Amino acid sequence: MTTRPRLTPAIADVRRAVREALVALPGLGAGSLVLVAFSGGTDSLALAAATAFEAPRAGLRAGVAVIDHQLQEGSTDVATAAADQARGLGLDPVIVRQVSVGSEGGPEAAARTARYGALAAVASELGASVILLAHTLDDQAETVLLGLARGSGATSLQGMAEHTAGGAGSGALLLRPLLGIRRSTTEQFCTDSGLEPWHDPHNDDEAFTRVRIRRSLLPALERELGPGVAEALARTAEQLREDTEALDHFAEEQVEELAEHAEAGLSLSVPGLAANPAALRQRIIRLAVLAEFGVSLSRTHTLAIAALVTDWRGQGPIDVPGVRVGREGTRLAFRATDVGSRDTRSADAE
């Protein structure tokens, strides 16, 4: 039988974060299953151990999904060891799932896509209500810096949300309880708990952009600007998320007022668009096109459409992926040009 570790500040902080995240979830009934995405690494080990402690006290069941990406020699042994460690923490069920990682979007994005798909599938099979992910405040800061470097707009700069809808029809919520916890705290949690985490060699491979940010850029910023850079980036992400949610809400209201639907597409009122500030006008355009055609416009395409409102000199219609947009009197008309283009997503969409 495992001896219960003494309650240290690190253990208390991680457990509290998990407890507060679980308690805050609406509609999570007694006996509901929550599923920890578990690799055996420091962050997921701390999350799994804290969940094993807190979930039963909240009347919940807690299990684990271990995803074997098969990208490293011996990955099956690593996944098996992680599963054994999870069982040792008292988590049940424990599922190991192998995935094949493609190449689209680069190695990091491809692995993430495969991982999330597998997690959604396991959650669906088990009827799990929530998938717990071990992203920390440091991960959030890295995500914000990546978004800043790519110039991909507020959506990237707002980082990861504490909870988002699950994918692949699983119906499970993705929950990140540790977004306010530093990686140093999860490391101390494992030390204080007598737990030995697995160290992923990929976390030391500077071929990955995120690793370079973690090992070089963030420490350099801390040296040059002083401590607290990661926390400041995380606060920025939270504030941007609040602003984005508000603007998106206003844009949705405006679309309902300005849009008229037709058999071939829809149109938007030019005076109505012109009356809105640029940030709201561009959101209205993006939202309308996404809702009607399933196309996520890039910023370049959005600005080209907006110019038909703000800088119209009699120019003809323009084509963006899957959609033709033209000025027709006081209306901006959107018509599908390629049925097969529906549900297209742009890599640089904001």
Domain residue spans of the chain: 9-226, 243-341
Decide if 9-226 and 243-341 have a common fold.
Answer: no
Q: How far apart are CA 34 and CA 91, in angstroms?
A: 10
**Do 47 and 130 meet the contact criterion of CB atoms below 8 Å apart?**
no
Backbone angles phi, psi at 94, to 5 degrees: -125, 120
The mean pLDDT value for 198-227 works out to 87
DSSP 266-289: EEEEHHHHHTS-HHHHHHHHHHHH
Per-residue confidence (pLDDT) for residue 338, from 0 to 100: 67
Q: How far apart are CA 132 and CA 137, in angstroms?
A: 15
HSE of 35 in the Cβ direction (CA atoms, 13 Å)?
29
- Token pair in block for residue 60: 């919940």
Residues 6+ apart with CB under 8 A from 162: 21, 175, 176, 177, 179
Residue, of 27 and 312, whose pLDDT is higher:
312
Per-residue confidence (pLDDT) for residue 346, from 0 to 100: 38
The mean pLDDT value for 267-291 works out to 95
**Do 28 and 129 meet the contact criterion of CB atoms below 8 Å apart?**
yes
Question: Does 35 score more than 50 pLDDT?
Answer: yes
Question: 330 falls in which pLDDT band (50, 70, 90)?
Answer: very high
- Token pair in block for residue 134: 């071990």
Question: Does 204 score more than 80 pLDDT?
Answer: no
Question: Does 17 score more than 60 pLDDT?
Answer: yes
Topology of the domain covering 9-226: Rossmann fold (3.40.50)
Question: 73 falls in which pLDDT band (50, 70, 90)?
Answer: confident
Q: How far apart are CA 114 and CA 285, in angstroms?
A: 32
Q: How far apart are CA 38 and CA 87, in angstroms?
A: 12
Topology of the domain covering 243-341: 3.30.465
Question: Does 166 score more than 90 pLDDT?
Answer: no
Question: Does 152 score more than 70 pLDDT?
Answer: no
Question: Does 190 score more than 50 pLDDT?
Answer: yes
Question: 345 falls in which pLDDT band (50, 70, 90)?
Answer: very low
Tens of pLDDT along 285-312?
Answer: 999 999 999 998 988 999 999 999 999 9
